[in-house]
Amino acid sequence: MPLSTQSQADDEPYVLVASLDNARNLSNILKSITFKDHAIFSATPNGLKVTVEDSKCMQANAFIQADIFQEFTIKEDLVGFQVNLTVLLDCLNIFGGSTVQGVSTALRMCYRGYGYPLTLFLEEGGVVTVVYIRELWKCPL
């Protein structure tokens, strides 16, 4: 069963779950704001905001509305974390970013909260890869 069609059980400990049928869409958005290695992710019930900044003098933001995701579940008013954006992009393209029509990489992104890694479940053609990306620091949101 594709990752994006699996429903989240209410007893799962994740404070954020976001699923996409095609990880390439998120990858392309994140590539457009990648000028530094690290990004701050801020999730609200409205969607996911990704911020990249350089020395507090230059900033790029991308906002992905909750409706874009096939599943977007958030259990707190605001969830924030910082991860290495270059590592995240490498993981999103772990299957090589197939350009074959009808073949896409499904993504389920989960976060348990401070002290836990960002967890990515990536599925393409029945092959599932689980990736854990260590959080860099607690975001002062």
**Domains located in the chain, CATH noted:** 16-138 (3.70.10.10)
pLDDT value at residue 68: 95
Query: Residue 55 pLDDT more than 90?
Result: no
**If you compute the radius of gyration of the chain from its CA atoms, what whole number of angstroms results?**
14
Q: What confidence category does residue 11 fall into, taking pLDDT thresholds of 50, 70 and 90?
A: low
The kind and range of the H/E element at 32 are helix 23-32
Query: Residue 5 pLDDT more than 70?
Result: no
The burial of 102, by beta-carbon neighbours within 10 Å (0-12 exposed, 13-18 middle, 19 or more buried), is given as exposed
pTM for this entry: 0.85
Q: What is the pLDDT of residues 89-133, one digit of tens each?
A: 999 988 776 566 777 899 999 999 988 999 999 999 899 999 999
Q: Which residues of 118-139 are buried (b: 16+ CB within 10 A; e: fewer)?
A: bbbbbbbeeeeeebebebeeeb
Question: How high is the mean pLDDT of the chain?
Answer: 87
Q: What is the pLDDT of residues 23-53, one digit of tens each?
A: 999 999 999 999 999 999 999 999 999 999 9
Q: What is the pLDDT of residues 73-97, one digit of tens each?
A: 999 999 999 999 999 999 998 877 6
pLDDT value at residue 85: 94
Mean pLDDT in residue range 58-75? 96
Query: Residue 20 pLDDT more than 70?
Result: yes
With CA atoms as reference, report the closest residue to 56 among 42, 32, 44, 40: 40
